A and B are shown apart, each in its own frame.
Chain A
Amino acid sequence: MLKEFQTFGRDLFLAGLNSSHSGNLSVRCGDRVVITRRGAMLGHLMERDIIETGLHKNDGNIVLASTEIRVHRAIYKETAALAIVHAHPVHAIALSLLEEEIIPLDSEGAYLLHKIPVLSAEHTIGSQELEEKLPGLLKEYKIVMVRGHGSFATGQLLEEAYQWTSSLENICRIIHITRTLKGALKDKRPAEYKEW
């Protein structure tokens, strides 16, 4: 399991989807959650950075768990997710400050994600507000942006949740570039995904 955490933690950092100490990963194993340590560097995860605790109950390890543990737990309790990736992709964060939802312009992004909701919250880090609001959106969408904060993606496997995170950032970079180019879009189809 450590190897898997290291692979995706490293890739998230190298792809610029997290800064040196941001983001967290977890997987669900029955009634247990395995999550990265609070303040861990995802690009350099070691055994001591992988923390196991209860899904429903706390134990001593809770003091080491990621700040977002309560949000991860809430998502696992209310969805069929088996893995969660929380990241801070810069283009997606920037776009979330401007938009109510993110609609991909590119075909790969549209095939995979169709639409990414943006959730606005007063307290965005490890908050009860996110614990209450995020799982509902993740029942329907694979990935959700928390405005100005970052993304939460779910999957059956870490690889899946990582893929949605990576796709989201690509989608947002393409939106950013097309807006910079200032031309009129030739493809009108993306507007249809507002209904997704």
Chain B
Amino acid sequence: MGFGGWFGKMLRVNLSTGVITEKKIEEKVLSDWIGGRGLGAWTIAGEVPADCDPLGEENKLVFATGPLTGAGVPGAGRFCTSAKSPLTGTILDTDAGGRWGVRLKKSGYDILIIEGASSEPVYLTISEGKASLHEAAKLWGAGVYETNDRLKDILGHDTSVACIGPAGENLVKFASMINDGHYTGRGGLGAVMGAKKLKAVTTQGSRKVEIANKEKLDFMLYEAGKWLKANPITSQGLPEFGTPVLVSLFNELGVFPTRNFQGSQYPGVANISGETIAELMTTGRKSCYGCPVQCARLLKTKTGTILGPEYESIWALGPECGIGDLDTIVEANHLCNQLGLDAVSTGVTIGCAMELAEKGIFNTGLSFGDTTGLLQAIKQIAYREGSGNLLAEGSRRLAERCGSGQYAMQVKGLELTAYDPRGLQGMGLGLATSNQGGCRLPAYMAGPETLGVPKMVDRFSTRGKAGLTINQQNISAAVDSLIACGFVNLAVSEEYFARILSAVTGVDYQTQDLHRTGERIWNLERLYNLRAGFDRSCDTLPPRLLEEPIQEGPSSGKVVELKPMLEEYYRFRGWNESGVPAPEKLRELRLEDFKC
């Protein structure tokens, strides 16, 4: 048995000077932080000043693979991008599937760090261990799909392209980056690329990822495969309907927000459900590298075959804006992808503008249910035209500039996702305490609160939610470092991941080691955010969710009872009343060097 999974190499590209360097990564760093989100947090906390301008030269973009990337583990063909977010000002990571990460890894690198900023548009190619910068003036202004096609024509179709669209170039605060039809969506990392004048990064590679103990890995994959095949979420629901399978489920529970979280059930949900999409539009499935789940859908539309919207996008561009027309939602989602926008933040920001107009606070001409207005607003945001220039700053800045910050449905500046936490108390705590703001991924409490993973708990109760949320946050941080897909984690528990990781790397990891690594990552992110000025007052939710009960449906009468959960959460974490990790906790996690 040897040392596998990692190449132990970092590629650093300075766009200000054009200098490209390679460096060895110490084994201790790899085994401590694993990869993906862990290595990203370690790099950002160590190298990016917490008070820097996210769109300035000091910010860095970290693309990190994990030891499982390219190792043939189902759902692990992923990479993670980290930076200081221009939308939130927090540390932020977002991971994506496709082939791009596998090709970066197979080119011989665990991690790519982009620093500085170019004066002219460029793109970066990485192929078989060689990296070079190229002039990109002719690509600047092109949409995502055109950029992808043109670069593949030049570099070959065994190349993966991660690129930004006009939104990233125009520094829209929630611009995304797209690769192989997958999105690095949240938090505006596309704008960080745009600020650096980096249009795209391409990867190509065929090196073999070494496996320390192939026999053990095969055994573990066989065992994990049994659960993937047996669990109806991963063997039937996601393969047949994709993530839109959740639309009907969450609507029925009364936690499917509508009209900027004014309602929690959408009457016309049957027209936009996963079942309807499968029946009327789906023509095929698409998967990430080596994943049997194949949750991405190909849809037939008037303009051709396109990637279908995910659960969150259907919601954000649909009921959140009072819209229930499926063709419009699919078109709006495609437009967001083409222009390089995070569909969730786009929809929620437009929903906020719709409510501000409805209340007579700020009239952008948008109103709930306005399908034409939605499509027009998306274009205006991407090009910062008219009122789109203000919307491009995100819902928090939009609402605050109108003196009505309470109407922005966000946490720490990041727009909330498609779950009304008033009917999911643990989800509320998870969102309020998330290091990156209103994203459900860092603690998918809908698992225990709605899907029975690992067991079904009372979704309206606050009791025991602090401990469950913390465990979810810690294990998610670890899984995001391997990097494995959260969907696979719904069927395959962390004890399998620990053994798979041990087999691939040759380093002995126990289940508890993943929890501890996740806890270290979570606390490091927390320290960074404290340095950036985020304190206890930021661990909260929009006033609507704390004060205005849901009006009807199965969750009616509920608000998020945050205070008692938050107090228990801090004690559980070993933080003081201000939310600062205690010195003994930092010693325990070997984080004493990272002061807040």
Q: How far is the CB of A111 from chain B (nearest CB, A)?
A: 7
CA distance A16 to B194 in the complex (A): 66
Q: Is A97 an interface residue (CB 8 A)?
A: no
C-alpha gap A27/B474 in the complex (Å): 19
Given contacts A80-B512, A140-B511, A156-B448, contact A27 B464 (CB under 8 A): yes
Q: Tell yes or no: A195 within 8 A of B by CB.
A: yes
Query: Which one of B467, B474, B495 lies within 8 Å of A142 (CB-CB)?
Result: B495
A63 lies within 8 A of chain B by Cβ = no
A30 touches B571 (CB 8 A): yes
B227 (CB) vs chain A CBs: closest residue = A111
Cβ-based interface call for B51 (8 A): no
B594 at the interface (CB under 8 A from A): no
User: Bound complex: CA of A29 vs CA of B468, how far in Å?
Assistant: 10
A-B contact pairs, 25 of them (CB 8 A): A27-B464, A28-B467, A29-B463, A30-B467, A30-B568, A31-B571, A31-B572, A78-B512, A79-B515, A80-B512, A82-B471, A114-B223, A139-B510, A139-B512, A140-B498, A140-B512, A155-B454, A156-B448, A156-B454, A156-B455, A157-B448, A157-B464, A160-B455, A192-B219, A195-B216
What distance in Å separates the Cβ of B306 from its nearest Cβ neighbour in chain A? 40
CA distance A30 to B575 in the complex (A): 11
For the complex, give the distance between the alpha carbons of A1 and B463 in Å.
Answer: 8
Contact A79 B454 (CB under 8 A): no
**What is the bound-complex CA distance between A111 and B496, given in angstroms?**
11
A159 on the interface (CB 8 Å rule)? yes
Contact of B467 among A29, A111, A114, A160 (CB under 8 A): A29
Tell me if B457 counts as interface (CB < 8 A to partner A): yes
For the complex of A and B, the 8 pairs showing the least CB-CB separation, nearest first, are A139-B512, A30-B572, A80-B515, A30-B571, A82-B467, A140-B510, A30-B568, A139-B510
Write out the residue numbers on chain A whose beta carbons fall within 8 Å of the beta carbon of B513: 139
Q: Which residue of A lies closest to B220 (CB)?
A: A196
Query: Which A residues, 28 to 69, have Cβ-Cβ distances below 8 Å to chain B?
Result: 28-31
Contact among A30, A31, A78, A157 with B454 in the assembled complex (CB-CB below 8 Å): A157
B464 and A29: CB pair below 8 A?
A: yes
A139 to B517, CA, bound (A): 13
Q: A156-B448, A157-B454 are in contact. Are A82 and B512 (CB under 8 A)?
A: no
Closest to A137 in B: B510
Contact bitstring B451-493, A, C-beta under 8 A = 1, else 0: 0001101000001101110010011000000000000000000
How close is B474's CB to chain A, nearest CB, in angstroms?
Answer: 7
* A78 contacts across to B, CB distance below 8 A: 512
- The range of chain B's interface size is 20 to 34
**Quick check: is B157 within 8 A (CB to CB) of the other chain?**
no
Q: How far is the CA of A100 from the CA of B510 in the complex (A)?
A: 20
Q: A140-B512, A157-B468 are in contact. List 16 more A-B contacts (CB 8 A).
A: A30-B569, A31-B571, A31-B572, A78-B512, A80-B471, A80-B475, A80-B512, A111-B226, A114-B223, A139-B511, A139-B513, A142-B495, A156-B468, A157-B464, A195-B216, A196-B499
Cα–Cα distance between A155 and B504 once the two chains are bound (Å)? 27
Question: Which of chain A's residues have a CB closer than 8 A to the CB of B467?
Answer: 28-30, 82, 156
List the A residue with the shortest CB-CB distance to B467: A82
* B residues neighboring A (CB under 8 Å): 216, 219, 223, 226-227, 448, 454-455, 457, 463-464, 466-468, 471, 474-475, 495, 498-499, 510-513, 515, 568-569, 571-572
Q: What separation, in Å, do the CA atoms of A189 and B242 have in the docked complex?
A: 34
Contact flags A59-101 to B (C-beta < 8 A → 1, else 0): 0000000000000000000111010000000000000000000
Q: Measured between C-beta atoms, what is the minimum distance from A114 to chain B in Å?
A: 8
Binary contact readout A15-34 vs B (1 if CB under 8 angstroms, 0 otherwise):
00000000000011111000
* B514 to chain A: closest residue by CB: A80
How long is the Cα–Cα vector from A142 to B510 in the complex, in angstroms? 12
- Given A80-B512, A82-B464, A82-B468, verify A160-B454 contact (CB < 8 Å): yes
Among A28, A80, A142, A155, residue most surrounded by chain B Cβ atoms (within 10 Å): A80
Q: Inside 8 A of A29's CB, which chain B residues have their CB?
A: 463-464, 466-467, 568
**Distance of A140 Cα from B494 Cα, bound (Å):** 10
A3 to B327, CA, bound (A): 49
- Cβ–Cβ contact A195 & B512, under 8 A: no
Quick one: closest B residue to A142, CB to CB? Answer: B495
Residues of chain A lying within 8 A (CB to CB) of residue B466: 29-30
Contacts of A111 in B (CB 8 A): 226-227
Within the complex, the shortest CB–CB distance from A57 to chain B, in Å, comes to 12
In angstroms, how far is the closest chain A Cβ from the Cβ of B517? 12
CB distance from A75 to the nearest CB of B (A): 11
In the docked arrangement, what's the CA distance between A34 and B89, Å? 40
Is there an interface contact between A79 and B455, defined as CB atoms closer than 8 Å?
Answer: no
Scoring A27, A78, A82, A159 by chain B CB atoms within 10 A of each residue's CB, the highest score goes to A82
Q: Which of A145-159 contact B (CB under 8 A)?
A: 155-157, 159
Of chain A, the residue at the smallest CB distance from B519 is A80
In the bound complex, what is the Cα–Cα distance between A111 and B226 (angstroms)? 8
**Complex-state Cα separation, A128 to B468, whole angstroms:** 28
Q: Which residues in window 117-172 of A have CB below 8 A to B?
A: 139-140, 142, 155-157, 159-160
Q: Which residues of B contact A142 (CB under 8 A)?
A: 495
Closest residue of chain B to A78, judged by CB? B512
In the complex, A111 Cα to B224 Cα: how many Å?
10
Q: In chain A, what residue has the closest Cβ to B515?
A: A80
Give chain A residues whose Cβ lies under 8 Å from the Cβ of B510: 139-140
Inside 8 A of A195's CB, which chain B residues have their CB? Answer: 216, 219
What separation, in Å, do the CA atoms of A1 and B511 have in the docked complex?
28
Q: Tell me the complex Cα distance, A64–B513, Å.
A: 34
Q: How far is the CA of A31 from the CA of B470 in the complex (A)?
A: 13
B574 to chain A: closest residue by CB: A31
Q: What residues of B have a CB within 8 angstroms of the CB of A31 in the complex?
A: 571-572
Q: In the complex, how many angstroms separate the beta carbon of B165 from the nearest chain A beta carbon?
A: 41
- Separation in Å of the A144 CB from the closest CB of chain B? 13
The answer to whether A80 and B474 touch (CB under 8 A), given A28-B467, A156-B454, is yes
Distance A113 CA – B515 CA, assembled complex (angstroms): 19
Other-chain residue from A114, A156, A159 in contact with B471 (beta carbon distance below 8 A): A156
User: How far in angstroms is the closest Cβ of chain B from A163?
Assistant: 8
Nearest Cβ on chain A to B337's Cβ, whole angstroms: 37
CB distance from B479 to the nearest CB of A (A): 14
User: Which among A28, A114, A140, A157 is the interface contact of B457 at CB below 8 angstroms?
Assistant: A157
Whether B464 contacts A79 by the Cβ 8 Å rule is no
Alpha-carbon distance A114/B226, docked complex (angstroms): 13
Chain B: minimal CB distance from A166 (Å): 13
**Assembled-state Cα–Cα distance A79/B227 (Å):** 24
In the complex, A27→B571 CA distance in Å? Answer: 15
Residues in B with CB closer than 8 Å to A196 are 499
A47 to chain B, nearest CB (A): 16
With A and B bound together, what is the CA distance between A142 and B226 in angstroms?
Answer: 19
CA distance A29 to B571 in the complex (A): 9
CB distance from B157 to the nearest CB of A (A): 41
Inter-chain CA distance A155–B499, complex, in Å, is: 19
